[in-house]
Amino acid sequence: MTEAVPYTPKQRKEMRKNLLRTFRVVEYFDFSGVLPDSPVQVNEGYIISDLETHELFASFAFQNTSGKQIMSLDIRLLLYQNANVPYEKKSFTYSYDNMTFGERKNGIVTKKGIFGTKQYTYYIAVGETFGRSAYIPIPDSYFRKIELEISKVTFSDGSFVTPKMIVRNQCTDFTELDDAKLYAFTRMNIYAAAEERYPTRVVPQFGETAWLCCCGQKNLATSEKCERCMRDRDWQKHVFDASVMEQKVEELKAANDFYRPDKTKYETSKNFEKEEEIQKRIAEYEAAMKRVAEQERRREHRRKMIIPKILIFIAVVIAISQLCIYLFGVFN
């Protein structure tokens, strides 16, 4: 059984100091697909470098799709050089006590902190995303490949699961379908109006705890519509079913209704759009982490100013009291 990694006060202080760093992304991991039977989904993954010290860190964003409240998530990073056996295994625990839940979205806010920060529950709610600004130090030594293992998930009722799952959850780009299927989809697409704002990017996937919409958004398995584009889950299951798609292709061929795109233009634009989407995600991540660093600097400044402000307040109170004593003596 994989046990949670306990962090000392010194380690927690170091992790808080890491929030002050400014990073650039050096590698992006494609976690666009759905893990078939996992209590958490991995939405993002990056290797990042400190702009000043050039130290390396790993950063991931997870989503709770278990249907239960999560108390902690244990992972391992497996680092490889040239062999097929990892030369280093680094464990990390995401938990409220360790202050490693990182940036959280769609969680339950209990109150506002004294510095204007949001106070979240000690557990990760169903559907909540977390972990984005929890930075995991990794060795500066050369590594050829890095893998993420989901080791253990502990729930608020005390139960736990140990998936020991290596994350490999890529998906199929919509443009990888052959021309006949691409055209068949356009003929069956009842959400054509949504294409301008939420274009069809991937072939949907459906797992036990989550499903991937054709727009690229991951949703809970219980959600009947995509929370981003509102496309219907069951409609996508039907349209992208292999037999349904093949039947539509045959119908269009029989009606002599088919489309032949410009292959040169098509292949070029396909690759460009995918690279453009990755660069957009990287830019959004770097901007978000920059905001985290700026917010942490402001909070750190406010914390440092508490004692000086208290001393100034005490000095003012003493001065006023001395003035009152003096004036009382003068008039009496």
Contact between 167 and 148 under an 8 Å Cβ cutoff? The reply is yes
Does 315 have pLDDT greater than 90? no
DSSP strand E in the chain: where?
23-29, 40-50, 56-64, 70-80, 88-95, 109-112, 118-120, 129-130, 136-137, 145-155, 160-161, 165-166, 205-206, 210-212, 218-220
- pLDDT tens for residues 270-299? 555 677 888 888 888 888 888 887 877 777
d(CA 210, CA 37): 9
Residue 65 scores a pLDDT above 70: yes
Question: Of the ranges 26-30, 228-232, 265-269, 321-325, which is most confident?
Answer: 228-232
pLDDT at position 5 over 60: no
Q: Is the pTM of this model over 0.95?
A: no
- Identify the band that residue 264 occupies on the pLDDT scale cut at 50, 70 and 90: very low
Q: Where are the domains of the chain?
A: 9-170, 174-260
Residue 101 CA to its chain's centroid (Å): 11
**Coil vs helix vs strand at 161:** strand
* 3-state SS, residue 66: coil
